[in-house]
Amino acid sequence: MSTAPDPWAIAEALRQWASDTDWVDWVELGGSLGRGGGDALSDVDAGIGVDDPAGRLAAAREAAEAFAPVAGTLVQDLGGVDHLMVVYRDGRQLSLVVFDRERRDGLPPEATALVDKSNRLATELDPERWDAGEATAREWTFLAWIAIGDAARHALRDHPWRALKALTDARDNLWRLHARTLGLPFPAFGAVTVENADAAAPPGMRDTHPKDLSRKEIHGSLEALASLLEPHTEDDLAAVAATVAHRIGRLAD
């Protein structure tokens, strides 16, 4: 019987390479593996701290491509930080962010230090650094209502796929608000955060997913989503909610 490829082997290869590479200062492992969980389907989510991020990307990519036979790679610019994605032919994936080593003054929550040459990861960072404040919660709520209204508008125009996309955007923000209410770390990750914590979804969340793309199903899903969003809606957004509710009501005509 075949054995599933082990993502920990990629993490160990990364650790060994970084330990032997003088310009790599630290390696942090996040995601399910960093939390001490994960399985054969887990990606390897990691970050490395280096002395010259722009000049080290090519070498980091070359190293990562030597860990196992590669199917393909992609480099993304995440706001000035390079993100290297490597898909290996056996299905394993490495997500590697190349940081300036000065960017870390401690270890983020739910992460593991694989390499820490200058003790930058010796201190655990306060999870509150990643909390969402009142302004962020208001933004998520506002954007959720706007997306619900957009979904209703697209449904009224018989553009069901656009309606579904907007509905999903609204639901994503509701997940973020729910994670924040539960006091979970990294609430911005929404459903990912809630499921990682084995926390319950908001009651009735399944009703926000339409069974098909008919106007009736989308209408019912939007009503359910609006109902779940209302407890997160402060008085200053009541008029926005009422305006969107009126548009949802037009779907019933």
**pLDDT recorded at residue 1:** 41
Which pLDDT score is estimated for 38?
86
Report whether pLDDT(4) > 80: no
CA dist 240 and 148 (Å) reads 11
At residue 210, the pLDDT reads 97
Tokens of 185: 């770390």
Q: Is the pLDDT of residue 161 over 50?
A: yes
Residue 210 has a CB neighbour count (10 Å cut-off) of 22
Lowest-confidence pick of 19-28, 129-138, 167-176 = 129-138
Phi-psi category of residue 31: left, alpha or beta, with phi > 0 → left and psi -120 to 50 → alpha: left
Read off the pLDDT of residues 203-247 as tens digits, 9 standing for 90 and up: 999 999 999 999 999 999 999 999 999 999 999 999 999 999 999
The three-state secondary structure class of 9 is helix
Q: What are the tens digits of pLDDT across the range 28-61?
A: 999 999 998 888 999 999 999 999 888 999 999 9
What is the pLDDT at residue 37?
A: 83
- Model confidence over 99-153: pLDDT tens digits? 999 999 999 999 999 999 999 999 999 888 888 999 999 999 999 999 999 999 9
Buried b (16+ CB within 10 A) or exposed e, 103-139: ebeebbbbbbbbbbeeebbeeeeeeeeebbeeeebbe
- Say which amino acid occupies 106: G
Is pLDDT at 2 greater than 60 in this prediction?
A: no
In 65-102, where does DSSP find H-type helix? none
Beta strands in the chain (DSSP E): 24-29, 44-50, 70-78, 81-88, 93-100, 112-116
Helix (H, G, I), strand (E, B) or coil at 44: strand
